[in-house]
Amino acid sequence: QKEVEQNSGPLSVPEGAIASLNCTYSDRGSQSFFWYRQYSGKSPELIMSIYSNGDKEDGRFTAQLNKASQYVSLLIRDSQPSDSATYLCAVNSAGNQFYFGTGTSLTVIP
Amino acid sequence: GAVVSQHPSWVICKSGTSVKIECRSLDFQATTMFWYRQFPKQSLMLMATSNEGSKATYEQGVEKDKFLINHASLTLSTLTVTSAHPEDSSFYICSARTGVRETQYFGPGTRLLVL
Contact between A31 and B101 using a beta-carbon 8 Å cutoff = yes
Phi-psi label, residue B76: left if phi above 0, alpha if psi -120 to 50, beta otherwise: beta
Q: Is a pLDDT exceeding 90 seen at residue B7?
A: yes
Q: Cβ separation of A98 and B93 shorter than 8 Å? A: no
- pLDDT higher at A25 or B53: A25
Touching check for B14 and chain A: CB below 8 Å? no
| Sign of the Cα pseudo-torsion (A105, B1, B2, B8, in order) | positive
Q: Which of B112, B110, B114 is nearest to B22 (CA)?
A: B110
More confident residue, A8 or B9: B9
Residues A108 and A78 sit within 8 Å (Cβ to Cβ) = no
Contact residues on chain B for A92, CB-CB shorter than 8 A: 100-101
Q: What are phi and psi of B34, to 5 degrees?
A: -125, 145
pLDDT at position A96 over 80: no
CA of A85: which chain B residue's CA is closest?
B41
Indicate left, alpha or beta for B100 from its phi (over 0: left) and psi (-120 to 50: alpha).
Answer: alpha
Task: Give the minimum alpha-carbon distance from B18 to chain A in angstroms, rounded to a whole number.
Answer: 23
